[in-house]
Amino acid sequence: MSMSAHEPLVVPSWRQQDLAAICRRAQVLAFDLDTTLARSKTRMTPAMAVQFAAMTHLRPVAIISGGRFEQFRDQVLAALPADTDMSQLHLMPTSGTRYYRWDGSQFQQVYAHDLSLADRQAAMASLERRARQLGAWEEQTWGPRLEDRGSQITFSALGQQAPVDAKEAWDPGNEKKNALAAAVARDLPHLQVRSGGSTSVDISAQGIDKAYAVRQLAQILQRPVDSMVFVGDRMDPDGNDYPAAQAGTMALRVSEPDDTLELLRTMEPLLRG
């Protein structure tokens, strides 16, 4: 994927792309988590877990998401079957600000790019102030709205434990999240501010987003970025998957986890071939 300096990159649905040609070039498979591999904050379905495990026997597989490592553990690792090739799995939580690899018995942190205390405090203050101004500071919440993830500050409009249906109904067009992200970005020009999952805005160090993550992964695996497939649902210019497409991966847009499952079932024989 590439774009000119003036035109936004358009990432079509995987159904509109030449999947056979993409699979011939694909050396690495990378995925967003929420609304791509699983519904927000929920465990992978058994069918997805089996299909995802099969992909680990075909190519190195990465998950790059705004969530914490604990979400990866609960949503993905806890669901995977015993025959998953964990040595082929690369976990990049908090939008790639942290990286975990399998050491033979468990996943170990390889690096973390934590924000300073002052930056974390400024980010949390801006998020609350701007959310209140914009009417995005909801009274009814499930758990904390603000979470300090060390390398990332995350605002969740309905709280960290909000039901999936409530989260998906809150801002289906992403207008509220995008407006909040834009306002906070003006307060914190030295930090990276992005509209995240269904109700979230994420803040990390400048330049560290999913573009940074895929470039880091390319270096680690010694594969070119343009040989990587990236699968995600937020491929619009304001979406948190868009930087991975901008970085030059073969980006495939999906709409929800069942769509991803169909994509993987279509890709498997092509990758084997």
pTM reported for the whole predicted model: 0.86
Radius of gyration of the chain (CA): 18
What DSSP state is assigned to residue 116? Answer: P
As given in the structure block, the two tokens for residue 77 are 């690792």
Same domain for 146 and 197, yes or no, is yes
CATH number, residue 136: 3.30.1240.20
Assigned domain for 224 exists: yes
Same domain for 54 and 89, yes or no, is yes
- Average confidence (pLDDT) per 10 residues, the chain, 273 residues: 63 98 98 95 96 98 94 97 98 93 97 94 98 96 94 94 93 93 97 89 91 95 98 92 96 98 98 94
- 265 neighbors 47 (Cβ within 8 angstroms): no
The SS3 call for residue 195 is strand
Same domain for 242 and 201, yes or no, is no
As given in the structure block, the two tokens for residue 183 are 């306002």
Smallest CA-to-CA distance from 28 within 94, 102, 89, 112 is with 89
Q: How many angstroms separate the most distant Cα atoms in the chain?
A: 55
Q: Which helix (H) or strand (E) holds 243?
A: helix 242-246
Same domain for 176 and 60, yes or no, is no
Q: Distance of alpha carbon 39 from its chain centroid, rounded? A: 12
CATH number, residue 19: 3.40.50.1000
